[in-house]
């Protein structure tokens, strides 16, 4: 297993459309193991998508179970995911390992019905809501070359710079 390098905006590979997984072999398992290690390598993210490490395959991992009071299906490896049904919408704040300096307000469906395959190629259906549904929609966007910054209503009012932790130093004295 290995921690992989996460591509950052504006890497052009983040704008590509990923291809479906067709063979459910050891190479896919190894990739998922590396993706998971990378997701947790801090800052731990609730999700990651294969194209974020430069592998243009339709694979995402989502796990929102660490968030309190959030309905969820636990740790999910979702291969070739497809949303069959959307319902409702809500605005929520999102961040992304590929856009480390910003968060943004994005409109997402509040309920989705999802079909995806697991590591053995077996299909599953999920009914998802709230933050889990949001995380899946965010990660699935990566498979189509979209980032949350492409979804904000206004880049001027809906993007927020993450807090920068400044070292405690004396106030800078203006040059004369
Ligand atoms: Ni992301």
Q: Is residue 68 part of a domain?
A: yes
> Would you say residue 99 lies in a domain?
yes
CA of 86 to the centre of ligand 1 (A): 20
Contact indicator for 40, 62 with CB cutoff of 8 Å: no
Tens digit of each residue's pLDDT (9 = 90 or more) over 100-136: 999 999 999 999 999 999 999 999 999 999 999 999 9
How remote is the CA of residue 133 from the centroid of ligand 1, in Å? 14
Which one of the listed residues 36, 87, 123, 139 is annotated catalytic? 139
Using DSSP's 3-state secondary structure scheme, residue 102 falls into strand
Q: How many CB atoms lie within 10 A of CB 67?
A: 14
Q: Is the residue at 3 inside a domain?
A: no
Cis preceding-peptide flag for 167 (omega within 30 of 0) = no
If you measure from the C-alpha of residue 99 to the centroid of ligand 1, how many angstroms do you get, rounded to a whole number?
7
Contact 170, 30 (CB under 8 A): no
Sheet containing strand 102-108, strands side by side: 90-94, 102-108, 159-161
Q: Is 4 inside a domain boundary?
A: no
d(CA 64, CA 42): 15
Residue pair 115/121 in contact (Cβ under 8 Å)? The answer is: no
In a domain, 6, yes or no: no
Beta bridge partners of 93: 105
- How many domains, the chain? 1
Tell whether 53 is covered by a domain.
Answer: yes
Residue-number span of the structural domain to which 52 is assigned: 12-161
- Whole-number Å distance, alpha carbon 20 to ligand 1 midpoint, is 19
Six token digits for residue 173: 């004295």
Q: How far is the CA of 46 from the centre of ligand 1 (A)?
A: 9
Across residues 85-105, what is the average pLDDT? 96
In which band, very low, low, confident or very high, does the pLDDT at 61 lie, cut at 50, 70 and 90? very high
- What is the C-alpha separation between 116 and 127, in angstroms, rounded? 12
Average pLDDT, the chain: 93
Whole-angstrom distance, CA of residue 10 vs CA of residue 66: 30
Q: What is the pTM of this model?
A: 0.91
CATH number, domain at 120?
3.90.45.10
Residue 165 pLDDT class (50, 70, 90 cuts): low
Q: 157 C-alpha to center of ligand 1: Å?
A: 20
Give me the mean pLDDT over the 15-31 stretch.
Answer: 98
Q: Is the pLDDT of residue 66 over 90?
A: yes
Active-site residue, 139 included: yes
Write down how long the chain is: 176
Residue 170 has pLDDT above 70, yes or no: no
- Residue 5 has what pLDDT? 97
Residue 156 confidence class, pLDDT cut points 50, 70, 90 = confident
Inside any domain, residue 169: no
DSSP reduced 3-state for 73 = coil
Q: What is the pLDDT of residue 113?
A: 98
Does residue 166 form part of some domain?
no
In contact, 133 and 92? CB cutoff 8 Å: no
């Amino acid at each position: 297993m290995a921690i992989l390098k996460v591509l950052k905006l504006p890497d052009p590979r983040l704008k590509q459309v990923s291809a479906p997984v067709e063979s459910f072999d050891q190479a896919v398992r190894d990739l998922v193991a590396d993706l998971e290690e990378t997701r947790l390598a801090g800052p731990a993210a609730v999700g990651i998508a294969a194209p974020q490490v430069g592998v243009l395959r339709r694979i995402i991992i989502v796990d929102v179970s660490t968030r309190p009071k959030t309905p969820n299906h636990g740790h999910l490896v979702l291969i070739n995911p497809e949303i069959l049904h959307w319902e409702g919408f809500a605005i929520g704040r999102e961040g992304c390992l590929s856009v480390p300096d910003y968060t943004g307000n994005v409109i997402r469906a509040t309920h989705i019905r999802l079909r995806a395959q697991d590591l053995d190629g077996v299909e599953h259906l999920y009914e998802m809501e709230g933050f889990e549904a949001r995380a899946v929609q965010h990660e699935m966007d990566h498979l189509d070359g979209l980032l949350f910054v492409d979804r904000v209503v206004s880049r001027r009012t809906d993007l927020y710079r993450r807090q920068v932790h400044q070292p405690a130093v004396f106030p800078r004295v203006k040059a004369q």
